[in-house]
Amino acid sequence: MSDTLRRIYNAVDLIFDRGVISKELHFSRNEGESKNPKTALQAFKSIQPFVVELDRQARLKMIVSQQGVNVNGTGLHWEFFFDLVQRRAQLICDWVLTLDEATDDYGTVSIEFVVKPFPAENSPIRQMVREGKLLHQQMIGMWKQEYRRRPNLPDKFRDTDAALADFIQQGLNINKAEFSLSTGQSPEGRLCWIAQTKRDSYFAAFE
């Protein structure tokens, strides 16, 4: 197939390919709730309405807390990663509770969103589509492969307070060891929470 013919096919496909995100977006939202640390599920429920506004078919892919959690399973900073299936984009959402050093108390909650199109706006792949070196449908196929690369996480999941109890039972001492918390797969291949210290990994059921 010639480059000219591919450009014709691509031009037609673009007419019907509406609603996709082609440029990186940055925006923020206010939570409007009590200013307290939250468990992962609580923070997720507070951002979920905004995610659904972007794409009703959005799929949760990963949750991360670089700072771990407090003794009750709550955290000050949660990162949520989504695939926006219809919009062919990936979303990173940061839920952050600030600490006011002047009053030694919790400040405000900020929710920041970054939407990244797939592929990136200035990627060689998009340039190849514009030049007729690659079919638009092939680019869509690449997105489908990327979407399948990581498993979808359920919207209803076992919360971090319960997972923390499992970690402590396994020997994690949160008063002495710094740790990060994320979703992932256990050595047996099951979806799970993972607490990671410098030396050890702890696993707890996600569902």
What is the residue-averaged pLDDT of the chain? 91
- What are 195-207's pLDDT values in tens digits? 999 999 999 999 9
For the entire predicted model, the pTM comes to 0.91
- What are 152-183's pLDDT values in tens digits? 999 999 999 999 999 999 999 998 889 999 99
- DSSP secondary structure string for all residues of the chain: --HHHHHHHHHHHHHH--S---S-EEEEE---S----B-HHHHHHHHHHHHHHH-TT-EEEEEEETT---TTS-BSEEEEEEEETTTTEEEEEEEEEEEETTTTEEEEEEEEEEEEESS-TT-HHHHHHHHTSS-HHHHHHHHHHHHHHSPPBPSS---HHHHHHHHHHHT--TTT---EEEEEE-TTS-EEEEEE-SS-EEEEE--
pLDDT at 108: 83
pLDDT bin (cut points 50, 70, 90) of residue 34 is: low
- What are 62-110's pLDDT values in tens digits? 999 999 999 999 999 999 999 999 999 999 999 999 877 777 778 788 9
Share of the chain above pLDDT 90, in %: 72
